[in-house]
A and B are shown apart, each in its own frame.
Chain A
Amino acid sequence: MTAATEARRARTLFEKVWDAHVVRAETPETPAVLYVDLHLMHEVTSPQAFSMLRERGLQVRRRDRTLATTDHSTPTLPRLPDGRWPFFDAQNAAQVAQIERNARDFGVELHGLGDPQQGVVHVFGPEMGATQPGMTVVCGDSHTATHGAFGALAFGIGTSEVGHVLATQCLLQRKPRSLAIRVDGALQPGVTAKDLILAIIAQIGVGGGTGHVMEFTGPAVRALTMEGRMTLCNMAIEGGARAGMIAPDDTTFQWLAGKPRVPKGAAFDAAVARWRALPTDAGATYDREVTVDVSRLEPMVTFGTNPAQGIPVTGRIPEPGAEKDPAARATLESALRYMALTPGEPILGQRVDVVFVGSCTNGRLEDLREAAKVMRGRKVKTRTLVVAGSHAVKQAAEAEGLDRIFREAGAEWREPGCSMCLAMNGDMLEPGQYCVSTSNRNFEGRQGPGGRTLLASPATAAAAAVSGAVADPRRLVEG
């Protein structure tokens, strides 16, 4: 295809970003060589990649396109009076020390513990203005999909690939297929982006997006804030997709304006003009399309051990007997056994032991506001951890007095990090405990061996905290 016909052909947002980053086109024998604009890093998936660079005598090719933080292994309790960090164990401390050393040795910009920009990698990247429309963004982390909210092509990679990007700023990739998720209708009060993505995954299944890049379109998506869009794209991976994307618009540009790494003045206007050409052209086609109507969507909560096992908060635990496919029935039975939940019972009123508000899915300012709205003037009846996604979020929340609302309710207001999302830093459930969590994965043991996770929105999590049981947040904020 000549450049002229290429320009005329109607293309999707994904195709435009992909095409603009092909260094060498794919052939049957070799995948495409795809250029990476932004490489984000954290302490868990990077050490072996730096070791590989050392073994082969390689350098970081583009330090200016590489940005690191620490989040998974970091403590969420404040620094000790003697200046040390209260790491849960020596391995956590060693992992954080390792990325500090690697960043020093290889000249990578690191915003680690103690840095005012530190935070969960997918919260901190956008806050720095590092994530911009039309970019390719990768990180050794599956929730890199989050950055697609800006109209970037953003996906998770393994540690070997982290090494490839460090050394060459490129990846070998086959072009994924495209899947449009069109969201019609308008969300009702008390229903959020988290509920929407849980409903989408319940519809398509945890493997439904495998091999695809999802683009979320439609009026309900256009109406979302950037925070909501990030929540949506964050969990595209829970539907199996490589990436989630949302076309940039004025909401995107307003959010980006003034962020540290975003161009200023005339350069910003020029960038916006370029970004406006990114949305999918009229007449462009996707490999698959799915339509969802959200007019009647209720707050969602998961009852099982994968993110597709979600129901409306007013719903009942499904009956395995009603499942015709034997494999699906076995999956459901094993989930209910692990969760110790009874088929046919309402999920409302189910006992809750711990509530976790935080993570790269729902650890942003808007999420904390939603939780605070429910907790204001009430007392929590469960252990409740509120963990801001970053220091910037924490500071902004404190400036509005949200921390006081949480503390007065009896919740723990922690330092930023991944915390109980994956329980690597010592913040974890005890075996058998039920946790309503605003994170993204309810896999067996994810929040601690034997722990039982129910995924929900910040409002639903806060409602559970003040009720000591699964509760409908709409009954607590309305009227």
Chain B
Amino acid sequence: MEPIRTIESRTVVIPRENIDTDQIIPGRFLKVTDKQGLGKALFSDWRYDADGKPRPEFVLNRPEAQGCTVLVAGDNFGCGSSREHAPWALVDAGIRAVVSTRVADIFRNNALKNGLVPVVLDPASHAKLLAAPGAKVRIDISSQTVTLPDGTTASFPLDGFAKYCLLNGVDELGFLLSQEEAIAAFESKV
């Protein structure tokens, strides 16, 4: 994983609540046995019509969305299934951070393992971003802050270990493997 310190981008806003993992990537795209190329399937049923043609009105298909790496969504993003295909698809499509007022537990865990930053804001700060699609934001991992369109900053929670992993580009498995002695000791007790 590449280290991440800051993310600067204009925002793409999908102002819906409870965006579930079946919307992020529908089940029929889970038949793969690798991770590559899932960005094509991101929000597939919203992005394409029944013939597979892009729907011009869907925000991710608009020209101004190209190159944006910050997705702002309504409350409770990522609810539903444990499919890591959801963050894989988002990352493959270029998204680096998802901003909401609540992020589902399994999605958050999965996102962090793929360098996708879940940013949970207070409702007032979140409302400012919802109201200003395309606004320029800067997300700073070290200080756990987002600069909002009106120039103010809002802070967001981030687990200390997750933060360390993001800033240093390390994955959790290395840490777990280093616990071998403790794991073996635990196993010998049970």
Instruction: Say yes or no: B80 contacts A94, CB within 8 Å.
Output: no
> A92, A444, A450: which has the most chain B beta carbons within 10 Å?
A444
| CB of A441, distance to nearest CB on chain B (Å) | 7
Q: How far is the CA of A51 from the CA of B36 in the complex (A)?
A: 13
**CB-based nearest A residue for B33:** A47
Q: Please give me the residue from chain A that is nearest to B190 by CB atom.
A: A35
Chain B residues, CB < 8 A from A89? 31
Cα A167 to Cα B164 in complex, Å, equals 22
CB distance from B183 to the nearest CB of A (A): 6
Task: Evaluate contact between A424 and B80: CB separation under 8 angstroms.
Answer: no
Size category of the binding interface on chain A:
35 or more
Indicate whether A240 sits within 8 Å of B76 (C-beta atoms), given known contacts A95-B31, A172-B176: yes
- How many B residues are at the interface, by size bracket? 35 or more
Question: Does A371 reach chain B (CB closer than 8 Å)?
Answer: no
> Is A160 located at the chain interface by the 8 A CB criterion?
yes
Evaluate contact between B31 and A158: CB separation under 8 angstroms.
Answer: no
Q: Which of B3-11, B60-68, B99-107, B138-146 contacts A (4 or more CB under 8 A)?
A: B99-107
Is B18 a contact partner of A331 (Cβ separation < 8 A)?
yes
Q: How far is the CA of A140 from the CA of B105 in the complex (A)?
A: 14
Task: List B contacts of A141 (CB < 8 A).
Answer: 81-82
- Bound Cα distance A28, B163 (Å): 12
B50 neighbours in A (Cβ, 8 Å)? 431, 449-450
Complex CA gap A320/B57 in Å reads 24
Nearest CB to that of B103 among chain A residues? A210
CB of B105 within 8 A of CB of A242, answer yes
Contact in complex: A33, B18 (CB < 8 Å)? no
Inter-chain contact A91/B32, CB cutoff 8 Å: yes
Pick from B79, B82, B177: contact of A240, CB under 8 Å: B79
Partner among B31, B45, B110, B180 whose Cβ is within 8 Å of the Cβ of A449: B45
Known A29-B164, A240-B105, A422-B27: A331·B173 in contact at CB below 8 Å: no
Task: Check B30 against A44 for contact (C-beta < 8 Å).
Answer: yes
Asked whether B179 is an interface residue with its Cβ less than 8 Å from the other chain, the reply is: yes
Tell me the bound Cα distance from A33 to B184 in angstroms: 12
**Interface contact A142-B80, CB-CB below 8 Å:** yes
A29: which B residues are within 8 A, CB to CB? 160-161, 164
Say yes or no: B177 contacts A158, CB within 8 Å: no
Q: Which residues of B contact A31 (CB under 8 A)?
A: 159, 161
Measured between beta carbons, the chain A residues less than 8 angstroms from B179 are 23-24, 33, 168, 170
Q: Are A45 and B84 in contact (CB under 8 A)?
A: yes
Let me know if A192 is at the binding interface, CB within 8 A. Answer: no
Residues on the A chain within 8 Å of B175, using CB: 30, 172
B182 interfacial by beta-carbon distance below 8 Å: yes
Q: How many whole Å from A465's CB to the nearest CB in chain B?
A: 24
**Residues in chain A near residue B22, CB distance under 8 A:** 422, 441, 443-446
Expressed in whole angstroms, the Cα–Cα distance for A31 and B164 within the complex equals: 12
Give A323-345 interface residues, CB cut-off 8 Å to B. 327-328, 330-331, 334
Report which residue of B17, B75, B102, B110 has the largest number of chain A beta carbons within 10 angstroms of its beta carbon.
B17
The CA of A163 and the CA of B50, in the complex, are separated in Å by 36
Within 8 A of B (CB), among A78-118: 89, 91-92, 94-95, 98
A384-399 vs B, Cβ < 8 Å mask (1 yes, 0 no): 0000000000000000
* Alpha-carbon gap, A161 to B105, bound state (A): 13
1/0 per position for A417-455, CB-CB distance to B under 8 A? Answer: 000001110000001000000000101111001100000
Not counting A167-B173, A210-B105, a sample of 5 additional A-B residue pairs whose C-beta atoms are within 8 angstroms of each other reads: A30-B161, A92-B31, A160-B172, A172-B175, A445-B22
Q: Which residues of B contact A (CB under 8 A)?
A: 15-18, 20, 22-23, 26-28, 30-35, 45, 50, 74-76, 79-84, 87, 102, 104-106, 109-110, 113-114, 159-161, 164, 171-173, 175-177, 179-180, 182-183, 186-187
A-B contact pairs, 19 of them (CB 8 A): A45-B82, A45-B84, A56-B173, A72-B30, A94-B31, A140-B82, A155-B106, A158-B82, A158-B109, A160-B114, A167-B176, A170-B176, A207-B75, A423-B27, A431-B50, A441-B20, A446-B22, A449-B26, A449-B50
